[in-house]
Amino acid sequence: MYFLGTRLIITVLTLFLVSLLTFAAFALIPGDPVSLVLGIEATDEQIAAMRTELGLDRSLWVRYCLWLGRFLTGNLGNSVRFRGVAIMDMVQERLPVTFTLASLSLIFIFIIAIPGALLSAHKEQGYLDRAVTTLTTITISLPGFFLGVLFIWVFGLLLKCFIPGAYVSYTDDFGGFLRYLMFPALAIAIPNAAVVIKFLRNSLLQQLRSDYVRTAYSKGGSRTWVLYRHVLKNAFIPALTVLGMIIGEIFSGSIVIEQVFTIPGIGRLLIASITSRDYPMIQTLVVYIAWVVILGNTLVDIGIQILDPRIRVK
C-alpha cells in the first residue's frame, strides 16, 4: 500500500508539471493562432473579440488555472481549428484507434521478443543465436516509418494484402479495422521487439550462469525445462524495465506511423493541431500522451514488484 500511495503521488505531481510546462511552452511560442484561424483579412475588432473568447487576453497563470480546472472536469472547450467542435468529442473519437494500435504493438512485441530471446539463449553462439542476434541488430537500426513504407510497398501494392490509405473504421467493420492496423502495429513493434530480445537474451544468459541453475541441472532438469521453469521469470525483470521505456516509444512512434498509413488517430490529430496552432487541442493531447506513458511505467513497476517482491522500486 505504501508503494502504491507513493507511486500515485509521484504520478499526480509529474502530470501537474507536464501540464504546466506544456501550457507555458505553447503559450510562449511566437505566432498568433487567432490570426492563423481568421486569416490576414480579419479586422482588429474580430481578432480582439476572438482573443477574448479564447481567453488569450488574460495572464498566463490565470489561463493555465482555468484550463486545468476545465481539464479536471472534462470540459476542455472547443477546438480553435475546428470551431464549434468539442475537444473531448474529437479525442473520444480518435482515442480507440490509437489505443488499439498501441495495444496491438505491445502484443506483437511479446509474441516476437519472448520466443526470439528463448531461441537465442537456448544454445549460446549456436546457429539460432547468431541468426537472432543478426536480425535484431538489423531491425534495431530500422526506423518505424521506413518499415511502414516497406510494408505498404510489399504487402499493400505487391501482395495486395490491404489497400494503402483505405482505412476501415472500427464502427463500420471491427475485423477490417484490426486487419488494417496489423501492419502499422508490426512496423512499430519490430524495432522495439529487437531491443527487448537483446536485453532479455543477455539477462537469460546471465541467469543461466547462476548457482540455482546448476542446482536445477543436478536434479536432472533439461536446459529447456530450466529455461521455462526457473530462468525466464527472473530474467524477465530487466526486460520489463526496458519495456516500460518502450511504452513511450510506442506512442511517439505511432504519431509518425499514423501519418504513413493515414490512420485518424491521436497522433495525426496532434500534428494537424500543431500545424494550425490549435493550442487547446495540443495541450490536451500532450498531457494525454504523458499520462499514458506515466501510467505504463507505473504498471511496469507494479509488475516488477509482483515478479520479485524483494525489489524495492522507488
The per-residue pLDDT for range 119-171, each reduced to its tens digit, is 888 877 888 889 888 999 899 888 888 899 999 999 988 888 888 888 888 88
Cα–Cα distance between 107 and 189 in angstroms, integer? 8
- Please report, to the nearest 10 degrees, the dihedral formed by the alpha carbons of residues 303, 309, 312, 314 taken in order: 30
Neighbours of 304 (CB within 10 A): 19
Q: Are 233 and 118 within 8 A, CB to CB?
A: no
Joined grid coordinates for residue 225: 525445462
Residue 250: what pLDDT? 83
Cα–Cα distance between 261 and 183 in angstroms, integer? 9
Where does 44-122 have alpha helices with state H? 44-54, 60-73, 87-122
How much of the chain, in percent, has pLDDT values that exceed 70? 89
pLDDT at 32 > cutoff 80: no
Q: Running DSSP on this structure, what letter comes out for residue 42?
A: -
Instruction: Count CA atoms closer than 13 A to 48's CA, side-chain side.
Output: 3
Q: Are 303 and 236 within 8 A, CB to CB?
A: no
Joined grid coordinates for residue 41: 483579412
Residue 36: what pLDDT? 64
Neighbours of 142 (CB within 10 A): 14
Residue 246: what pLDDT? 83
Q: Are 122 and 224 within 8 A, CB to CB?
A: yes
Cα–Cα distance between 269 and 274 in angstroms, integer? 9
Indicate if the alpha-carbon torsion angle 76, 78, 79, 82 is positive or negative: positive
Architecture per CATH, domain 96-307, reads as Orthogonal Bundle (1.10)
Residue ranges per structural domain of the chain: 96-307
Indicate the pTM of the whole model.
0.81
Q: Which residues pair with 86 in a beta bridge?
A: 78
